[in-house]
Structure 1
Amino acid sequence: MVWTDDLLIQFLDYAAEHAPELHPLLHLMAYRGPRRGEACGLLDAEVRLAKGEVSIVNQIATHGYEAHQKRPKSDAGNREVILDPDTVAVLTAYKARRAAWRRAAGKDGPDTGLFFVRPDGRPWHPNAVTQRFRRLVKQAGLPPIRLHDLRHGAATLALDAGVDIKVVSDQLGHSTTTLTRDTYQSVVKRLHHEAATAVADRIKNKRRRTA
């Protein structure tokens, strides 16, 4: 299940107000679709806001509750993700807030090398992010979805916006466009129907003008 555009906006606005320390990570997942572990494991050195891009080369994986960092699970998982201006603005504001956290912590604050951290400088545990997400959804009174569904929502939004499926596949880190088509087959099929109708309408309008 994915939210409508309006529900996603409602959630992100609620998260920005009630969980500002976590909102930027959730915003990135909702807009650009990284996996939970990839967002938690995003390296500070791989975020280039001036260029509007990040590189996914690290993730935080869990076994039980134990978390550890490792490379993405496939070659396709190592990828560049281009950021939209709204996401750049959110992440830029977050960096300024994070700098204030570090100044408050002083020299004793942890330096994880990660982009998204808690206010005390510690990493976000992926399971903790999921738990916070569930609470925020419930508190906001929204239809329940999984955290992973933010990734599905990002892909659906991109396809609905007319983004080429190869671009969406690269954005998500899928190994082939076949995987993307299989995962979002209902969306892709609907878009093909819309494309077919658009072609027919174009020809019909030309015939009317020449009749």
Structure 2
Amino acid sequence: MVQLGWDTVVTTPKSAAGRRTITLDAETVTVLKSWRHRQRQERLKAGQAWVESGRVFTHPDGTGLHPGWVSALFTRIAAEADLPPISLHGLRHGAASLSLAAGVDVKVVSAELGHSTTSFTQDTYQSVFPDVAKAAAEATAALVPLKARTGG
């Protein structure tokens, strides 16, 4: 989905890498199944007024949510929760960085993001978190015998 001004257009992804299956964790799958159940109930309640948009997240009548509306809602919820300002796209960066920091292979992260090269993923998303940098320093130091490090 692409936003052009305030209009939205459903189109094909920019590249072949953009066509992909996204793997979700079990907790997210559970939340989405619960949402699907709620949406089915909304569909029954709406009856003939239901609009089949094919979208996962909709208004109670099935019409699609406008990306700008979703972004504004997200910004408001984050502010009300006293979280630092971040955009929905910023969450993509954060998720990619956290995956890499958790030790997920860069090829997997790159595929999940729809990138055609791992170098782009690393250059764009790989941030070094302080805990990760500390662990790397400790792991590197552990390779050098203690006597060599202490001069003894």
Assess same fold via TM > 0.5: yes
CA contact (8 A) 1:137 1:144 kept: yes
CA distance in 1, matches of 2:120, 2:74: 27
Unaligned runs of 5+ in 2: none
1:128 is aligned, of 62, 66, 69, to 69
TM-score (norm 1): 0.63
Residue 56 of structure 1 corresponds to which residue in structure 2? none
- Determine if the alignment matches structure 1 residue 161 to structure 2 residue 124: no
1:169 is matched by which residue type in structure 2? S
Which stretches in structure 1 are left out of the alignment for 5+ residues?
Answer: 1-59
Aligned to 1:114: 55
Number of residue pairs matched by the alignment? 146
Aligned residue identity for 1:98: Q
Identical residues among aligned pairs (%): 46
| Structure index of larger Rg | 2
Pick the aligned partner of 1:180 from 121, 132, 149. Answer: 121
Q: Which residue of 2 aligns with 1:103?
A: 44
**1:138 alignment partner in structure 2:** 79
Please state which structure has a larger fraction of its residues in strand: 1
Contact 2:13 2:19 in 1 (8 A): yes
What secondary structure, in the 3-state scheme, does the structure 1 residue paired with 2:76 have? helix
| Aligned partner of residue 128 in structure 2, secondary structure | helix
Give the Å deviation of 1:80: 1.3
Match of 1:86 in 2: 27
Cα deviation, residue 204, structure 1: 3.7
What TM-score, normalized to structure 2? 0.85
> Which of the pair has the greater relative contact order for Cα pairs under 8 Å at 6+ separation?
1
Contact map agreement 2:58 2:64 (CA 8 A) in 1: yes
CA distances 1:46-102 after superposition (whole Å, capped 9, x unpaired):
xxxxxxxxxxxxxx1111001111111111111111111011111010000000100
Would you say the 8 A contact 1:159–1:187 is kept in 2?
A: no
Aligned to 1:10: none
Q: Which runs of 4+ in 1 moved over 2 A?
A: 184-188, 190-197, 202-205
In structure 1, how many angstroms separate the alpha carbons of the residues matched to 2:145 and 2:29? 43
Q: Secondary structure at the match of 1:70?
A: coil
